[in-house]
């Protein structure tokens, strides 16, 4: 009875925090913590300090990349690919946005691409909903495949002390599963999107809308492009510094002997990522003369700081309650975990919707799952299930896709749940999880 009441308190904090959005999600964790500690006398759990510090390092580097103009180079290259192959935009656009997220460690880079994707689609008679919704979903799916994302670092850190398939989980081993699974899921989304919805010339609702001249001008108005801009050399330097740091991190993740010894063991990848991300940001500032004051004022930095607060409050609150009841949970759920370990993926998916963060969901659920007996291999196999916030169309990238689609084809349905992002989200995550299960099984990890 006591556990049920405490769990209801946590859920209430999650629901209300999710409704408020942003920093409020993490702050609501403070209410739960105070009630659990002072009301029920539970000893406070451990806040995820390593994860939070890694978020700070990665966000600082990514925000510096944006402030320096290095991100514009990536976006310009991405636009060139799309405009050279406009007929395939429904497949190429999500692959491009996923790749940008993989390189930058955050899905928020999609905002600049969305108006470009819309322009390519509408000027080639392609239903904008097809690439727009797919691109928003793909940009978030890329997080679990990025070597500098908080979600990936969190999994590596949480599984560092356990055996996965008879050996410790390495950075490269995790990415060798999540990267192909992510791209398989994104490709499945693209193929589905190619055929979804009516063509614009056969859509009566769209045709009725553009029948008015002012609406037609609005739908087919001026497009957005980066192709006419000649970017300075410093922007290219910033991009190569950032990509170079990612390459070094990936190599060090696979070659442990190249990392310095700490206590007789290779330095952890958590510390390695933190160091090289800070180094990348510093080198960009030095060699491109980036105004440091601009770093803290862009979207990447702002969204990253929101993520820190969310992870801090939610993960700390969850650790407090589950650490106290761990033995009871082990006894109650042991049989379910042994016979139906896939239920872990469902729990992770649902929690990620509540917290709107893959990293926060992983840090809240994975420690509990490992404690009650979920085999570590399943954490790797179902990593893609940490993305479930497409279930309701409340995430910023989804809302941005709706707003940038002037044709109105990317939409929220009358019943809310019937929106443009649900089908591609379910398809992408399901395919990624199924392939993850297959790959981990073939490699003896589960």
**Dihedral, 120, 123, 126, 129 alpha carbons, nearest 10:** 60
Cα three-residue angle 173-175-178, rounded to 5 degrees: 115
Beta strand 265-266 pairing with 163-164: unpaired
- For residue 314, the model assigns a pLDDT of 77
Query: Distance (Å, rounded) from C-alpha 338 to C-alpha 74?
Result: 45
Helix axes 129-141, 171-195, angle to 10 degrees: 170
Query: What CA–CA distances, in Å, run from 399 to 109, 185, 220?
Result: 14, 22, 20
Angle at 383 between CA 377 and CA 389, to 5 degrees: 150
How are beta strands 167-168 and 261-262 bridged, if at all?
A: unpaired
pLDDT averaged per 10 residues in sequence order, the chain, 446 residues: 82 74 79 92 84 80 89 88 92 94 82 86 93 96 90 85 77 92 98 94 92 90 75 94 88 83 83 90 95 85 77 80 73 68 87 80 85 88 94 79 89 82 97 97 90
pTM for this prediction: 0.77
Distance in angstroms (rounded) separating the CA atoms of residues 253 and 74 = 24
Backbone angles phi, psi at 373, to 5 degrees: 110, 10
Which one-letter DSSP state was computed for residue 298?
A: S
The residue behind tokens 């955050």 is 106
How many domains does one find in the chain? 1
Tally the residues of the chain: 446
Q: How many CB atoms lie within 10 A of CB 244?
A: 13
pLDDT of residue 224: 64
**Whole-angstrom Cα distance, residue 146 to residue 156?**
12
Two tokens, residue 22: 């942003």
Between CA 329 and CA 336 the distance in angstroms is 11
3-state secondary structure 174-237: HHHHHHHHHHHHHHHHHHHHHHCCCCHHHCHHHHHHHCCHHHHHHHCCCCCCCCCCCCCHHHHH
pLDDT at 21: 62
pLDDT of residue 337: 64
CA–CA dist 29, 312 (Å, integer): 8
Whether 46 and 40 have beta carbons less than 8 Å apart is answered as: no
* Residue 22 confidence (pLDDT): 65
pLDDT of residue 378: 93
Decide: helix, strand or coil at residue 44: coil
Give the residue numbers spanning the domain of 424. 2-442
Query: What does the pLDDT read at residue 186?
Result: 98
Distance CA 159, CA 138 (A): 26
Secondary structure (3-state) at 22: coil
Collapsing DSSP states into helix, strand and coil, what is residue 77? helix
Per-residue pLDDT, 232? 93
pLDDT at 379: 93
Kindly state the tokens that stand for 436: 């993850």
Q: What is the DSSP letter of 426?
A: H
């Amino acid at each position: 009875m006591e556990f049920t009441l405490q769990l209801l308190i946590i859920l209430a904090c999650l629901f209300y925090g999710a409704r408020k959005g942003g920093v409020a999600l993490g702050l609501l964790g403070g209410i739960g913590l105070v009630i659990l500690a002072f009301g029920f006398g539970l000893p406070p759990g451990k806040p995820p300090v390593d994860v939070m510090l890694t978020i700070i390092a990665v966000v600082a580097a990514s925000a510096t990349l944006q402030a320096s103009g290095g991100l514009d180079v990536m976006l310009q290259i991405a636009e060139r690919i799309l405009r050279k192959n406009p007929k395939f935009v429904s497949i190429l656009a999500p692959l491009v946005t996923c790749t940008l997220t993989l390189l930058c460690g955050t899905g928020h880079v999609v905002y600049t691409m969305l108006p470009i994707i819309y322009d390519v689609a509408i000027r080639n008679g392609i239903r904008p909903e097809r690439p727009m919704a797919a691109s928003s979903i793909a940009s978030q799916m890329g997080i679990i495949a990025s070597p500098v994302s908080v979600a990936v670092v969190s999994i590596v850190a949480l599984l560092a002390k356990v055996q996965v398939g008879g050996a410790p989980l390495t950075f490269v081993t995790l990415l060798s599963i999540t990267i192909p699974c992510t791209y398989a899921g994104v490709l499945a989304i693209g193929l589905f999107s190619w055929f979804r919805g009516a063509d614009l010339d056969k859509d009566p609702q769209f045709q009725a809308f553009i029948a008015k001249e002012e609406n037609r001008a609005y739908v087919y108005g001026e497009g957005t492009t980066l192709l006419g801009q000649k970017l300075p050399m410093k922007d290219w330097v910033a991009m190569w510094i950032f990509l170079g740091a990612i390459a070094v991190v990936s190599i060090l993740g696979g070659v442990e002997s190249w990392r310095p010894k700490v206590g007789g063991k290779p330095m952890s990848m958590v510390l390695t990522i933190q160091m090289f991300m800070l180094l990348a940001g510093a080198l960009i500032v030095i060699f491109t003369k980036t105004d440091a004051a601009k770093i803290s004022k862009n979207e990447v930095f702002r969204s990253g700081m929101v993520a820190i607060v969310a992870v801090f409050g939610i993960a700390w609150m969850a650790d407090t309650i589950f650490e106290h009841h761990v033995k009871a949970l082990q006894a109650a759920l042991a049989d379910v975990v042994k016979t139906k370990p896939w239920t872990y993926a469902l729990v992770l998916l649902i929690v990620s919707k509540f917290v709107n963060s893959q990293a926060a969901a992983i840090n809240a659920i994975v420690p509990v799952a490992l404690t009650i007996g979920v085999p570590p291999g399943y954490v790797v196999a179902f990593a893609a299930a940490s993305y479930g916030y497409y279930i309701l169309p409340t995430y910023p990238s989804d809302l941005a896709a709706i707003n940038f689609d002037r044709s109105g084809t990317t939409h929220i349905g009358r019943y809310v749940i019937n929106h443009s992002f649900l089908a591609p989200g379910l398809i992408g995550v399901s395919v990624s999880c199924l392939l993850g299960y297959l790959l981990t099984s073939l490699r003896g990890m589960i």
